[in-house]
Amino acid sequence: MCRAILQIAQRTVCKIVLQFVKILLPKLKKPRHLDRVYVGGNKLRTSIAVIFVLFGLTALAACQSTPVNQPEGALPAGAASAKPDIPPLPELDPAQIALGETVYAQNCAACHGENLEGEADWKRQNEDGSFRAPPHTAEGHTWHHSDQQLLEAIELGGARLPDNIGGTSNMPPFGGVLTDEEITAVLAYIKSQWPDDIRASQWQVTVQTANQ
């Protein structure tokens, strides 16, 4: 009911504005001194009329571009294709998390902290130019990267960093130390410590990276 009333009102306003423009526009004459600022007499009325016409043209354009038949809550045309569909956030496996916690304590906690807090003052580089171990909590940047990037970081360590990144990493590669199952479990454990919104953001990055 409300949508029908809104559609009628929109059509009525558009018709009124269109008639107003058709009637008034032919009667306007260009002032002889457009480059002067003036008030009073016919010049003031002409200026006011020009303003009303410009307002009418703007309103008419808005009326013509308003999709009156668009359903409530519908996205604008093309909006659905602006980003790929994101599948639901996967559930974490408690058994995998437990394994990951054990593996993390044995192999990662010495540098990244027992509670994933990272090294102190981790944003500063060491004197040798190497990066300090960052936190894996929501305060760090781990969740800014896709699953594939994080798995490669664990497997390859600092060797994965390009030369132009502005620093080095002392992280050793774990590809020959841990099994694929253990590496995946470590990542699952880290994710289990994130709030839901952080997990969702990281999952979106993972999906979008995979679709590239």
Q: Give span(s): CATH 1.10.760.10, the chain.
A: 94-210
174 close to 107: Cβ distance less than 8 angstroms = yes
Q: Which residues, at least 6 apart from 96, have a Cβ–Cβ distance to it below 8 Å?
A: 184, 185, 188, 189
Tell me the whole-structure pTM to 2 decimals.
Answer: 0.60
Q: Coil, strand, or helix at residue 29?
A: coil
Token code pair at residue 45:
């009325």
How far is Cα 166 from Cα 171, in angstroms, rounded to an integer? 16
Top pLDDT among 39 and 72 is at 72
Looking at domain 94-210, which of 3.30.479.10, 2.40.40.20, 1.10.760.10, 3.30.300.30 is its CATH number? 1.10.760.10
- Site of tokens 């410590």: 193
Q: Which residues, at least 6 apart from 166, have a Cβ–Cβ distance to it below 8 Å?
A: none
Q: pLDDT tens, 12-67?
A: 655 665 565 466 555 544 444 434 333 344 544 544 444 444 444 444 454 454 44
Q: What confidence score (pLDDT) does residue 25 get?
A: 52
